[in-house]
A and B are shown apart, each in its own frame.
Chain A
Amino acid sequence: MNTASVSLGASVSSQSRFLQLALAAFLGIFVMGFVGFSHIDAVHNAAHDYRHSMAFPCH
């Protein structure tokens, strides 16, 4: 009984854990993608040296 209730609680919280962690990772990917991969000229120029220094595909 005890193990069952623990695993039930764990599974509920693990779903919420997964969502929150996935949300954080998605936010990180979005930020990185915007600064490093955006085709907007102004963004490209502002982060130009950074993009080259991180070896992101550039130009």
Chain B
Amino acid sequence: MTLFRNVVFIAAIAGLVAGVVLACMQAYATVPLILKAEVYEQAGGGHAHDHAAAPIAPAENAMSTTAMSSAAPAEAAAPEDEGWAPADGFERFVFNIAANVVTGIGFALILVAASEFAGGIGNWRQGLFWGLAGFAVFTLAPNLGLPPELPAMPAADLAQRQIWWMATVVATAAGLGLLAFRKSLPLALLAVALIVAPHIVGAPQPDNFESPIPEGLHHQFVVAVTLTNLVFWLVLGAVVGVVRGRLTGTATSLRDSFA
């Protein structure tokens, strides 16, 4: 299991570095906007949740209420009572860093494993391009259909959006992989179809786009999320390239496991 161990080692370092970088960028770029949006959310009281729930209700009242009661009764009834949450300020910041590092390592594991199938990321420059691919797969493609949301914004059913998000990521990754590593025209056409298909199917959208969040604030947030994610993926890919280069360059015994 040397290969597995090496992949985890590289992913842990890259995820740690990129996750800390991302958390710092978020502290300045995205979290202040989320806090601003929460002011609007609180100003609306429970209305934000009512609005989010209401559009589904009229058509299929019985269905949505049963779904509500089984899925999230507390959320629909009282927005304040949502279980444990980190205290605002330092604790919330620390949990945000932790989430960033943990998922950074998760993304890095996926990136390293995928790139090893294609021969591995040789240096930081190759890492940048693998990072760009990750950005396209995990940020650009899903965000076309489901733009980054601020709290209190209207949105379709959570589970459906999550399914669409994951399907889009898988389809885009498969499409990009085919484009990059297969040299036949039919497969290239299939790749384009795979990348386009989720957007033809369409992301689940809310029935009502009425939002207490000002358009300008949301636009700022979309830009901030997109750019912070771009930097995150570039850093992640580059660090993987550097660490992997060190491993394979210094220890000849490890070189075999990447051959």
Q: Which residues of A are at the interface with B, using a C-beta cutoff of 8 A? A: 16-18, 20-25, 27-32, 35-37, 39, 41-42, 44-59
The total of Cβ contacts below 8 Å across the A-B interface reads 138
Query: Which residues, 116 to 168 on B, are CB-close (under 8 Å) to A?
Result: 116-117, 139, 142-143, 146-151, 155, 158, 161-162, 165-166
A31 pairs with B84, CB closer than 8 A: no
A31 pairs with B113, CB closer than 8 A: no
B61-69, B104-112, B194-202: which lies at the A interface? B104-112
| B233 to A: closest C-beta gap in Å | 11
A55 pairs with B148, CB closer than 8 A: yes
| B228 to A: closest C-beta gap in Å | 7
A42 pairs with B30, CB closer than 8 A: no
Q: With A25-B113, A31-B102, A31-B109 as known contacts, state yes or no: A53 contacts B225, CB within 8 Å.
A: yes
B residues near A25, Cβ cutoff 8 Å: 109-110, 113-114
**Other-chain residue from B26, B113, B117 in contact with A28 (beta carbon distance below 8 A):** B113
| B195 to A: closest C-beta gap in Å | 18
Please name the residue on chain A nearest to B164 by beta carbon: A57
Query: Which residues, 57 to 106 on B, are CB-close (under 8 Å) to A?
Result: 74, 82-86, 92, 95-96, 98-100, 102-103, 105-106
